A and B are shown apart, each in its own frame.
Chain A
Amino acid sequence: MKDLHRLSVTLRQRLLQIIYHAGGGHTGGSLSSVDILIALYFHVMRYRPEDPLWPGRDRFVLSKGHSVEGYYCVLAEAGYFPREELDTYGKFNSRLFGHPTMKTPGVEVPTGALGHGLSVGVGMAIAGKRDGAAYRVYVLMGDGEQAEGSIWEAAMAASHYRLGNLIGIIDYNNLQISGNLDTVMRVAPFAERWTSFGWKVHDVEGNNLDRLMEVFDRLPGDTERPNLVIAHTTKGKGVSFMENNPAWHHRVPTPDEYEKAQAELASALRGGK
């Protein structure tokens, strides 16, 4: 098993661990998005954890701020803060809130209220373009989040200003807190909608690290158009009984469920899946 594939299992173990010990968290979404984060942080993006404000860094914005547990595990693994600090998640006065804040090294903008991240990313991309800087801006959005009107304001501005340095990603697991996307609000079809807003759209298997790395390696194909990666993911990915079940949006495993989930992941590591 390649290192990043192993990492995608160990970070799942770790994020379940911090959710379990904190007694709260967004289990399903963290599991669906963690492969995207691994591809970005350990294959694509340039950054310096020892110098989080290095001006040349690629910017990442977690617009779906509730998927924070996987993000914290990735930031710790990347070296922004000690791995032991993950154990403070959910504890009084921890730097690790239930949504990203400026207290956590590596976080560019506090998110949690949905529909904010892409606008901030557009501002970063405009600044980079006007300054002739080489950095790129990555914004990870939720699929249910696409119902926020402000996203479409930002989408319009991004193509208007030809932000080829901006890459939006949708974690398309097709579930939100109340159920299927189509039941709650028909926000798809994403490809047609984003294309009509002037974006270049790329579909990819969002829990397949090799495919994710390939698609990010190709970007930007067109430097005059913003890029949207539709990552087709599975909510709860990696733990069989959590997959595709909206109940795991922010459910915390019972002790039995926790043991079972960790055993499944440990077996995946051993089996070299």
Chain B
Amino acid sequence: MSSAPGKSCRHAFTETLVELAENDASIMAVTSDAKGSVTLGEFEKKLPHQFLELGIAEQNTVGVSAGLARCGKRPFVCGPASFYSARAIEQVKNDVAYANANVKVVGVSGGVSYGALGSTHHSLHDLAFMRAIPNLAVILPCDNAQTRSVTRFLAQHVGPAYMRIGRTPVPDVYAGDFGPFVFGKANQLRDGRDCTIVAAGETVFHAVEAARQLERSGISVRLLDMPTVKPIDVDAIVAAAEETAGIVTVEEHSIHGGLGAAVAEIVVQTRPVPMRLIAFPDEFVPAGSSAELFALYGITGPALADAVREFLRSRATFSI
């Protein structure tokens, strides 16, 4: 594992999509004036016949993608996560999920990627919104290698899915190679017994740092990377509840309805154990880069390590 920032996951996604689309003419990249922010320039240049620009009209863009899918195309509809998961949510629900259309909705610059641009551009609600829609897979890769694997998986998976990726370069969690993506399965990055940390997306790297620091101070942590937020890996969560003394979740999302809530839904109905949910509080965030906002809300290696220590000291006390 390297801590040097690599490329952003959007590059890993679009490079992989070009490779896949060169070998499968049914794959299309569809966007709403977000070619630059998704990094689809190369795709358009190499495969103009498989590229579709629909202008600043996210609702239409998702609806059109559903129509393309009904005619045998495999559209990846790509644009800012904030807009596809809110403005176009009815198209995602009806035209994609209810229709069982083979559309992959790819929300780029997810979470607080856009930093100081403000909450209009943040998607701290997307997991909650998307998770509440039946027949829609929800996936958050954590680094470049996993993004490549998830993209390859999505190209052969038949059915509706939402993938959220970030904008800023992220360090590698999986050194260069992730291997085939196993849909619906957690990846155990390390084992431990004192508690389990469950993370997804760009928080995984920080959770890895936290687990390392905790290990050095004698606290043994199981760390689960949970790229498939829906359908979530029930077995891994139940095992964590049974085999470790509590669960801490960490996510780049509102405290309401995201990864922590998804894990808690399983825990309270199977093997209740104390939990701590580390997420963005129920408020619009101040101006700041995504790194500054992560720091403000305690999503850094050291802050997470402190939160786990505090959790272990007072496991019976919840503070949400």
Contact = CB atoms under 8 A, between A and B. Distances in A.
Contact of B70 (A109, A130, A160): A109
Interface string A156-176: 110010000000000000000
B66 interface: yes
Interface string B147-159: 0000000000000
Interface string A119-158: 1111111111011010000000000000001100110110
B87 to A, nearest CB: 10
Contacts, number: 102
A153 B99 contact: no
B248 to A, nearest CB: 39
A123 B98 contact: no
Nearest to B98: A110
A126 to B, nearest CB: 7
Nearest to B100: A102
A109 B64 contact: no
Contacts of A154: 60, 63-64
Contacts of B54: 157
A116 B68 contact: no
A119 B67 contact: yes
A156 B100 CA distance: 26
Contacts of B59: 115, 119, 149-150, 153
Interface residues of A, number: 33
Contacts of B85: none
A131 B57 contact: no
A123 B94 contact: no
B71 interface: yes
A131 to B, nearest CB: 7
Nearest to A108: B70
B169 to A, nearest CB: 34
Interface string B50-78: 00101101011011111111111101000
Nearest to B30: A123
A130 B49 CA distance: 7
Contacts of A121: 67
Nearest to A101: B98
A59 interface: yes
B90 interface: yes
B228 interface: no
Given A102-B100, A127-B73, A119 B95 contact: yes
Given A119-B95, A153-B57, A124 B68 contact: yes
A119 B94 contact: no
B91 interface: yes
A123 B99 contact: no
A156 B98 contact: no
Contact of B55 (A108, A124, A125, A157): A157
A113 interface: yes
A39 to B, nearest CB: 23
Nearest to B64: A123
A111 B65 CA distance: 15
A55 interface: yes
B100 A122 contact: no
Nearest to A125: B67
A116 B91 contact: yes
Interface in A45-67: 55, 59
Nearest to B52: A126
B146 to A, nearest CB: 30
A13 B59 CA distance: 38
Nearest to B97: A110
B57 A123 contact: no
A120 B63 contact: yes
Contacts of B67: 109, 119-127
A110 B100 CA distance: 10
Given A102-B100, A123-B65, A150-B63, A116 B95 contact: yes
B90 A120 contact: no
Nearest to A130: B49
B72 A120 contact: no
Given A126-B64, A157-B64, A120 B70 contact: yes
A101 B64 CA distance: 18
Contacts of A150: 57, 59-60, 63, 91
Contacts of A124: 67-68, 70-71
Contact of B99 (A102, A122, A125, A157): A102
A34 to B, nearest CB: 24
Contact of B60 (A109, A111, A125, A153): A153
Nearest to B65: A123
A156 B61 CA distance: 12
Given A116-B95, A122-B60, 8 more contacts: A119-B66, A119-B67, A122-B64, A124-B70, A127-B68, A128-B71, A149-B59, A157-B54
Interface of A: 55, 59, 101-102, 108-113, 115-116, 118-128, 130-131, 133, 149-150, 153-154, 156-157, 160
Closest 3 CB pairs of A and B: A123-B67, A119-B63, A127-B71
Interface of B: 49, 52, 54-55, 57, 59-60, 62-73, 75, 90-91, 94-95, 98-101
7 contacts: A59-B70, A119-B67, A122-B63, A127-B71, A149-B59, A153-B57, A156-B57
